[in-house]
Amino acid sequence: MKTWFFIYFYEDLKKEELGITASNCKYHFLNNYHTLLGNIKINDSFNLFMLILYGIILSVKIIRGFIFFNILLLIVSLSSCQQSPPQHDNKNNPPIPPLLKGGSGERKLKVLTTIAPLYSFTKNITGDLADIDNLLPSGVGPHEYSFSPLDVKKITGADVLIKNGVNLESWMDKLIASAGKEKLIIVDTSSGVKIMNNDPHIWLSPKNAIIQVENITNALVKTDPGHSEAYKNNAENYIQQLKTLDKEIQEEVNKLKQKEFVAFHSAFLYFAKDYGLKQAAVIQEYPEKEPSPKHIASVIDTIRAAGIKAIFSEPQISPKIVEAIAKDLNLRVYSLDTLETGAPYPEWYEDKIRANLEVFKKALN
């Protein structure tokens, strides 16, 4: 170390005196530093003083360099944190291995979604780069669904199964067991959504839909890495569209006079919470079960107490009970779509949510 200090001192301060330039000094340092040492009188008190001074300067330089290096490390680690995938990834989902390598001429990824909104989300992410099918027939909702041999075949042919989660697909384990399918990547799109009362109807709020789209994108990017850039770009564009929809709903709901409503079944909890409405009561207490007289009595009390002027039915059903309550209390009946059934296409989700928004605007003004 002493020698090193000395050579530096020599290089900086004595080079002119000894007729040595900086470059050939380094050359000497590397190849023949003993010779250079011999040229300096180490006992000379001035040289010794300069050597100590240089030692201090060099120590400061080293410490400064150390601090700079650590700051650089911190910046690098922070920026790598920012590049990590969205926080909704993998909470309910196991790690996903790549399934297709993405070489030219390789077959398309086969994706099966359970309900129509998930088909709409996935189609917007993949475009024509994957084959997408929806499990539920267009007229059947997830609460009353029982699978057919054709549905078992759909599972057998799929690489990836995209489900809503929150136990909406309570029949799923049986269906997969019937298909005898071992290698199936299952994506739970509810991962990262804040669940309320174990209610599965998360898709009815576009804020949740954005999280579901992110979860689907993460899974597809990992499964089919050859198309990862296209999937990410498409998802980004689609999420922008959903954000526009979200803003539009908020602006319209802010203008509504009445904020409380009664729905047929508890599907609009998330929508109401996210946009400042209140699902004051639901007529059907449990899916697929007739409401009890006691429950109907409490719904009527709520309607009277909140001054509710309209109740909501659903397009796929014509519940006599809704008509009876409306007649008794002189209420108007409107139809809200829970998006549980239908023949989806890419814009289907946005179209249906906007149609519901129009119904809210008519019913709650």
Q: Which is nearer to Zn ion, 186 or 204 (CB)?
A: 204
Q: Which is nearer to Zn ion, 249 or 267 (CB)?
A: 267
CA nearest to 43, candidates 85, 6, 8: 6
Binders in 26-55 for Zn ion, by CB under 5 A: none
CB of 190 to Zn ion, least distance (A): 14
CB of 340 to Zn ion, least distance (A): 5
Q: Which is nearer to Zn ion, 167 or 237 (CB)?
A: 167
The length of the chain is 365
CB of 357 to Zn ion, least distance (A): 19
Distances, alpha carbon 158 to alpha carbons 89, 125, 136, 179, 209, in Å: 22, 17, 14, 11, 23
CB of 189 to Zn ion, least distance (A): 16
CB of 134 to Zn ion, least distance (A): 16
Q: Which is nearer to Zn ion, 11 or 169 (CB)?
A: 169
Q: Which is nearer to Zn ion, 124 or 338 (CB)?
A: 338
Q: Which is nearer to Zn ion, 9 or 348 (CB)?
A: 348
Number of residues lying near Zn ion (CB under 5 A): 1
C-alpha to C-alpha distance for 80 and 232, rounded to whole angstroms: 19
CA nearest to 49, candidates 13, 4, 11, 1: 13
Q: Of the listed pieces 40-48, 75-83, 118-126, 259-267, which binds Zn ion according to CB under 5 A?
A: 259-267
Residue 2 host element (H or E): helix 2-9
Residue nearest to Zn ion (CB): 267
Binders in 260-279 for Zn ion, by CB under 5 A: 267
CB of 141 to Zn ion, least distance (A): 7
**Residues 87/313, Cβ–Cβ less than 8 Å:** no
Structure tokens at 109: 């990824």
CA nearest to 256, candidates 358, 166, 103, 120: 358
3-state secondary structure of 311: strand
Q: Which residues bind Zn ion (CB under 5 A)?
A: 267
